[in-house]
Every structure is written in C-alpha cells, then in structure tokens.
Structure 1
C-alpha cells in the first residue's frame, strides 16, 4: 500500500512539473513610445520568449493577459493565440494580440502584457514582471494647407483645405525674412495683396489655433 501511495505521489509530482514552464514577454513591439492623436487606433504586438525547460509545440494555445489603463480607467483583456511554430527553450516568436484598439480619450495610456501559460503548460513559472509601454494621446491637429497656390499681378491667390478659424499667414523670402503677415478670412478662397520685391522663390506659411503650421512655396515670375 505504501509503495502504491509513493508511486501515485511521484506521478503527481512529475505531472505537476510537466504542467509548468517559464514564458516571458521579451518586448512590446506595438504600440510604440510616441505621441498619438485622439481617435487614432493601435495594435498590440509582442515578442514572447520560451525560457524553458519544455518545448512549446506549434499546436499549443498560449494565453496572454493585457492591461490597458489611463488615469481614469483600466481595461483587462485575455487573449489566446496558437503558437504556430515549435518553440524550443530560448526561442522567440511574435504575436499580434489586438488590432485597431481605439484611443478615444485624451489621456496618458499604459499597455502591459504578460503570459499566463499555455494549454499544455498552464502554469507559467516566470518571476519577470509584465512589461509595459506608456504614451500620451492628445487632440488631433490637422495642417492647414493651400491648394492651387499662384501669384499674379500683385496678388497671391489660393484655396484652403478647410475653412480656417483664427488662422494667420506669413510670406517669407529664401533667407527666412518675413515680408508680410496677417490674418486670413474665414473662408476657403483667399487672396493676399503682396508686391514681391523681385522675381524668385517665396514661401507661404499658414497656422491656425486648431492645427500645426504648414509651409508651401510659390514662384514669382
């Protein structure tokens, strides 16, 4: 009877050891540490390393834990991905866990990803903390641009990509000297009276409170 119990205990220990393996997220490929704009979307893509000692087979199912948080909210997601390739100890593989996750609030975001385990090895013995990446999300700013820009008889005429609100213009020469500046009308079609001092290349710089500045060139003949 004692031998039977010892045998059962040994089998249980071996089974428990077999159900364990060490996995870690080597790095988070996406999202990157960069500035995103409101209403952008991001993918969550990671590089996972099999530390071992067991081989992860291509048909095994890997479970990832994702945390996406801001100052105000925290979202948890559990995602399963098929290994797709045999992973010996020290091997790495890339997995896309989320696609087009919406960034719908102006805030500082943090994305953390960990590995819970696999179907064959449900216990991940890794003591490494789940890596995180942080990035700010701000208000999207569009460039105010001029289409059909041309100069004729002392007038610079152009059509804006959108109706400006409190937009300004500057005309510069090749040296960067400001030759004229002013405020644009709140309409798409614009004309600015400008007597060019000489024929040559000039620059029109546009800027609004809602957008980033843009610079475009025009030629006076």
Structure 2
C-alpha cells in the first residue's frame, strides 16, 4: 500500500516514519504540508515533531495547512490516518479525534521506553496485534497529557475507542492512562508514543512498534496477524 507521510515545518520524525512504513512492507510517499494533494495514497501518517514550533498550541496552526483539508475529507471517506505525537495533536485540533493534548503534569519533557497495552485491535493501525498485547515503544513529549471532559471519556471508554493505555506508570498525566484513541470508524488513530522508533533491533527498544505499520494489510484482509 502507498502510505503518505506529511512533513510540516518543524516535523522531525517524518523520515523515521517513512522508514517504518517501508519496513512494514508498504511504499512511503513524502507529502508536503503546503500541497493540497494526497497523491493517491492509501493511507496517511502525520509524524511527530514541533509543527510551527508549537508557538500557538500544538497542532493548532498545522490543522489549517492545505494538505489537512484533503486529509480531513479523505478520513471522512474512510482513508486510514495515523497521527503520532504531534500528529495526534493535529488530529485533535482538526476534530478528527476527541479530546486534547496538554502540558505534561510534571511540567517536564518526558523521554523513555514506554510500556503500553494495546486495547483495540479493530483499527487500521492495530490489526496486527492481539487485544491485550503489551508492547514497549519510545515516548518523547512535553505536551502529551490526553484530556477530555468526563462525558467524552466515558463515551470513548464505552465505545471501546481507547487504542492503547500506559503501563508501568503514567508518564505525562493523561487521564485514565490513555496513550491513544481512535475515531468511531476505526480508520483514524492518534498515539502519543512513537512506534516508528521501535521497528528494528538496531535502534530503539526492539520491534514492538512494527505492528502499527503492518496492520494496514491485516485490516485490508490481505495478511494475517503477526503480533501476539
């Protein structure tokens, strides 16, 4: 599958995401934030970084980039979209996902290998996993605390839309230990930790994050689950 990876001013994990896409068996296509053109891709990744320097609010300026108009429309029509870290923030600012990401509760940048439990394996980005799988990927954020009002939290919990939850201690104050959520259809996923930094043994904590990039084929029905 052709997976577009968008570069915004301040993106710093776009090349890493492209590499993860290729290791996951797909073709990576570089997309530029200023182009209202998705180049016919089958899925889109919004990578981590500090788009527009986070000068207004994380992701608040990027949501108005020309490419995001196309992403929002395509996501509404079922295009798989994965937002990682800053990409998660952009998805929330674009109202493709509920809630918001705010400053870490300890007011410090967090950088660590983070354990997660994969809770929803019905999405386009987690279909390679088995529900309840525990994985370790990289986490690095300063504004990674997921928040929403109680009614919204109760709704996404009741609908099974929590994709991943923190284990071994909450690193940033995210409510209910939520590390990632999805939209109702399951094609749009936001994840604060970085699975693209855990796709090969040469670097990072291992290959536990690779399932996020092999899941598209499973979701499309052309491959079997690969992660227990």
TM-score class normalised by the smaller sequence: under 0.3
Determine which structure has the larger strand proportion and give its number: 1
TM-score (norm. length: structure 1): 0.24
Whichever of the two has the greater Rg, that structure is 1
Q: Which has the higher contact order (CA 8 A, sep 6+)?
A: 2
TM-score (norm. length: structure 2): 0.23
